[in-house]
């Protein structure tokens, strides 16, 4: 394993010469905010992630009905004001809110809960019944008002992504979706066959959700064995494997302070060709198109 400075791989946003993502490991917040008795610890976990170096936080209006966003808001501290440009904040609009006016209202509510002035990435959480054009119009209005820097999608397969690009053209948008947040992990490699190559061609960054296979990979015996040979944990190896894609970020969720640190260290690991081959033997890459895995 070779360590390197992760800043070297910061992904630059051509429009503003600001990074698209301020760190390649981000903190997921799904399932935070659901139990009020855990709120203090969850808020402390988010603050700890920021203290350790995480500069990417993923949340959504759906998570605990907005409570996860509120927890992020409480934990941000100076990252909501004087240090705001140092962190990449991502949230998502629910599909049933995602017509033009609903998207705008949902974003305004998210910003109030997160106690900040703008989001870096605002995503359509998954496809719903509103036209892509109306969602894009909402995103463009938010962008023009400075309330979001970028927009994007989540859980979009190849066909949906191509239709979204057509919709962007239909509304005459000069901005494009910058990211697609999809399930991608060692045990969920389906997107490698067709979606990921298409995203690379379209300059759409991969935000890998559930990068630990919702936690299963951290318990995987074969992965743990291989990881131990390199002095790593199974979780670290699973995350470093995702980051072999130069434009990918991964957003593992944890509320354990030690695991938050453990996961963060994955951003400083570069895997050798031999290790990648060993991982290919454990987790087979796809040989044909498959339905997009969605949680």
Ligand X SMILES: NC(=O)c1ccc[n+]([C@@H]2O[C@H](COP(=O)([O-])OP(=O)(O)OC[C@H]3O[C@@H](n4cnc5c(N)ncnc54)[C@H](OP(=O)(O)O)[C@@H]3O)[C@@H](O)[C@H]2O)c1
Report the distance separating Cα 249 and Cα 243, nearest Å: 7
Cβ proximity to ligand X, 243 vs 277, nearer residue: 243
Check: CB of residue 207 under 8 Å from CB of residue 89: no
Q: Give the chain as a 3 state SS string.
A: CEECCHHHHCCEECCCCEECCCCCECEECCCCCCCHHHHHHHHHHHHHHHHHCCCEEECCCCHHHHHHHHHHHHHHHHHHCCCHHHCEEEEEECHHHCCHHHHHHHHHHHHHHHCCCCEEEEEECCCCCCCHHHHHHHHHHHHHCCCEEEEEEECCCHHHHHHHHHHHHHCCCCCCCCEEEEECECCECHHHCCHHHHHHHCCCEEEEECCCHHHHHHHCHHHHHHHHHCCCCHHHHHHHHHCCCCCEEECCCCCCHHHHHHHHHHHHEECCHHHHHHHHHHCCCCCCCCCCCCC
Beta-strand pair 179-183/205-209: parallel
Which tokens is 222 given? 């074969």
Nearest residue to ligand X, using CB? 28
Q: Which residues of this protein are in contact with ligand X, per CB under 6 A?
A: 28-30, 58, 125, 154-155, 181, 209-215, 218, 235, 251-256, 259, 262-263, 295
Check: CB of residue 120 under 8 Å from CB of residue 90: yes
Report the distance separating Cα 87 and Cα 243, nearest Å: 19
């Amino acid at each position: 394993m070779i360590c390197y400075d992760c800043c070297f791989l910061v992904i630059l946003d051509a429009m503003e010469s600001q990074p698209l993502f301020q760190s390649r490991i981000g903190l997921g917040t799904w399932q935070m905010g659901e139990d009020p008795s855990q709120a203090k610890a969850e808020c402390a976990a988010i603050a700890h992630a920021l203290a350790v170096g995480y500069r990417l936080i993923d949340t959504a209006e759906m998570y605990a009905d907005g409570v996860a966003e509120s927890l992020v808001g409480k934990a941000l501290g100076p990252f909501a004001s004087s240090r705001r440009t140092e962190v990449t904040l991502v949230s998502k609009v629910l599909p049933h809110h995602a017509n033009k006016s609903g998207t705008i209202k949902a974003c305004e509510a998210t910003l109030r809960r997160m106690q900040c002035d703008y989001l870096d990435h605002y995503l359509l959480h998954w496809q719903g019944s509103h036209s892509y054009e109306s969602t894009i119009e909402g995103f463009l209005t938010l962008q023009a008002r400075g309330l979001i820097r970028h927009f994007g999608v989540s859980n979009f397969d190849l066909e949906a992504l191509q239709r979204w690009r057509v919709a962007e053209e239909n509304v005459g948008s000069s901005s494009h979706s910058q990211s697609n947040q999809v399930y991608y992990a060692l045990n969920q490699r389906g997107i490698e066959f067709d979606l990921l190559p298409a995203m690379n061609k379209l300059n759409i960054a991969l935000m890998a959700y559930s990068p630990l296979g919702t936690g299963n990979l951290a318990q995987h015996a074969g992965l743990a064995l291989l990881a131990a040979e390199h002095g790593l944990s199974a979780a670290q190896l699973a995350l470093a494997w995702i980051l072999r894609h130069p434009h990918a970020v991964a957003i593992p969720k944890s509320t354990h302070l030690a695991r938050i640190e453990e996961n963060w260290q994955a951003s400083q690991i570069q895997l050798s060709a031999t290790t990648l081959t060993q991982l290919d033997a454990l987790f087979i890459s796809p040989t044909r198109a498959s339905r997009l895995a969605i949680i």
